[in-house]
Amino acid sequence: MRLSPDLHAHLRMTPIDNSALAAQLETIDLLIPDIQPLASRFPIVITDESGYRLKALVTPSDTTNIFAEHTPTVWQHYPLILDSMLSEDNPLRASTPGVREVTPPVIVDPEASHFQLDMGFKLFENGEPTPFLQARIDRMQVDAEHEQRTLALIDLLHRAGALEPANVRHQGKEIACYLVNDKALSTNLDKAATDSDSVGQAISLALAIADSQKGLTVERSTQ
């Protein structure tokens, strides 16, 4: 549901650490800022589900903070997320006719435990975003830029021939994904990149991802 001052003026949000919620999932979307702090903790693969995504393959836990000091970026703002960071066919992106919406559009989960009627930060005051909400939107816009950088990195690795299709076993399931071929990086990346800075960053991030994949049970794809 899109966030609206007409529909959600009553909501008050209590910020909580979302890492406990994320720790219940088997896969979690990652962005570039997540790679270095989390690559040593989880295998990271690239999937092609409604667009390319970096995903951590997580073993769920309700006894340990599996993320240590770094909650994955896309979970830092839940129960809010920018509309643009969801896939185009996601039904949550649908507008409600006849109501105002914040700009840029934001999706909200009004049933989340963060919202209570009698406590927490107001999201709207006199029909406008409060400083609390505006600060959240500003941070989410920064993360939307991280998402574009992440997609550009994945595209660069594809063009360099540094990604190989594979099927991996995770939590008893088979996941179709791409793995990093680190041997192809030095051979082809210079030709695919447009500037030296992107080459250096791509190599550093790709090597971290490749290192995270070493313990996976892999069946190489013939695609």
Per-residue pLDDT of the chain (223 residues; tens, 9 = 90+): 999 999 999 999 998 889 999 999 999 999 999 999 999 999 999 998 767 899 999 999 988 889 998 999 999 999 999 998 888 888 888 889 999 999 999 999 999 999 976 789 999 999 999 999 999 999 999 999 999 999 988 888 888 888 999 999 999 999 999 999 888 776 766 666 666 556 777 788 889 999 999 989 887 665 5
First to last CA, the chain: 37
Show me where the domains of the chain are located. 12-220
Are residues 221 and 165 in contact, defined by beta-carbon separation less than 8 angstroms? Answer: yes
CB count within 10 Å of CB 130 equals 16
d(Cα 221, Cα 223) in Å, to the nearest integer? 6
Q: Concatenate the DSSP letters of all residues of 91-108 into one string.
A: GGGPPPTT----SS-EEE
The pLDDT, as a whole number, for residue 100 is 95
CA 217 to mean position of chain CA atoms: 24
Q: What is the pLDDT of residue 59?
A: 94
Give, in degrees to the nearest 5, the angle at Cα 219 between 213 and 221.
Answer: 105
Q: Where are the beta strands (DSSP E) in the chain?
A: 12-13, 27-30, 44-48, 52-57, 80-82, 106-108, 121-122, 124-125, 128-129, 163-170, 173-180, 217-220
Give the per-residue pLDDT at 159: 84
Model's pTM, two decimal places? 0.87
Residue 222's pLDDT is 56
The pLDDT value given to residue 183: 81
Q: Which of helix, strand or coil describes residue 88?
A: coil
pLDDT score at 90: 86
CA distance 170 to 51: 21
